[in-house]
Amino acid sequence: MFQPMDSDQGQVVGSLSGTLAGVHLEAYRPTANSGLGQVLVLTAGLLDGVKNILEPIIRNLLSPLLDPLVNGLLKVLGIDLASAEVGANLSCSSGHAQLVQ
């Protein structure tokens, strides 16, 4: 018996926003005062700022525009994302269940 796996492939670009929301950057200042530690903290802050800017742009602008185009392209190409079928052939002839070919 095969059961289809549910997938949210209608929101390919929109799911990128959810992925970005799951990214958390934390930089800790070293106890010793060093230039490299300051650069690390500054870089992490800049990356966090870029992430905070991109997240609403992807969610509110790019997702509504690009998701229908990407979905149409995937459909034309015959690509089905996250499609999986799992099954097995079992035999109980020897008194216990076992996989057979």
Per-residue pLDDT at 1: 52
For residue 29, tell me if it sits in a domain.
Answer: yes
Domain count, the chain: 1
85 in a structural domain: yes
- Domain assignment present for 82: yes
Residue type, 4: P
- Structural domain containing residue 81: 9-99
Query: 3 in a domain, yes or no?
Result: no
Tokens encoding 45: 């802050």
Nearest CA among 20, 9, 18 for reference residue 67: 9
Residue 31 lies in a domain: yes
- Picking from 2-11, 30-39, 62-71, which range would have the lowest pLDDT averaged per residue? 2-11
Phi-psi domain of 78 (left: phi exceeds 0; alpha: psi -120 through 50; beta: other): left
Q: How far apart are CA 40 and CA 61, in angstroms?
A: 31
pLDDT, one tens digit per residue, over 33-68 is: 888 888 998 999 999 999 999 999 988 988 888 888
Rounded mean pLDDT of 19-41? 85
Distance of CA 82 to the CA centre of its chain: 11
Q: Is residue 34 assigned to a domain?
A: yes
pTM: 0.57
- Within-domain flag for 4: no
- For residue 43, how many C-alpha atoms fall within 13 Å in the half-sphere facing its CB? 6
Mean pLDDT on 9-23? 79
Q: For residue 26, is it within any domain?
A: yes
Instruction: Lowest mean pLDDT of 3-7, 13-17, 97-101, name the range.
Output: 3-7
